[in-house]
Amino acid sequence: LDKNTSGIVIIAKNIMSAQILFDLFKNKDDLVKEYITLVKGRVAKNGIIDSKLSKDANKNYVSVDEKKGKSALTSYMYLTYTTDFSLLKVKLISGHSHQIRVHLKSLNHPIINDYKYGDRRVNNYIRDKYGYEYQLLHASSITFKKVNGGLSYLSNKRFKAKPNDKFLEIVKGELSYEI
């Protein structure tokens, strides 16, 4: 997770578990990672973003680069919206640094309180109104489809985490919606 993203974090307790988890995250076919995010503007349809991303390691900045980038797929589904904001459920089909943040920015719907890729005016509005400093991106669930070896008991298991109270307050205050 990016440092300003809340939600589920997986930690291995030993080297064997770490290797299995590393392979799962590398392969990506046996994991489903879902996020909840509040973005700028009205998103009134579901979709898939398919664009190549390139990272400038010196600046820790990612951009869409169809010539030199790595293929990245992100699906999104709107949960509710107003003219100013939309609440989305996002699934990583592939997984790269800052993928969700950059993909949503490329649609002109940056994540609220994302000061690297977002809209500073809107971010300042939310920060000033609610006193919240973190981006409104939350890793809400992870599902293990098929796991081999010592962690096979995780197969077909889903783990969920509810956003923090401040995140929920902002969604309720701006969208009149309860997660």
Of the residues 2, 23, 50, 56, which is catalytic?
2
Element (H, E) at 16: helix 15-27
Across the chain, the runs of DSSP E, i.e. the strands, are: 6-7, 31-40, 47-56, 61-64, 70-81, 85-92, 137-144, 157-160
> Among the residues of 86-177, which ranges form H helices?
99-106, 120-130, 165-175
Q: Is 30 a catalytic residue?
A: no
Q: Which residue's entry shows tokens 């770490």?
A: 18
* Active site amino acids: 2
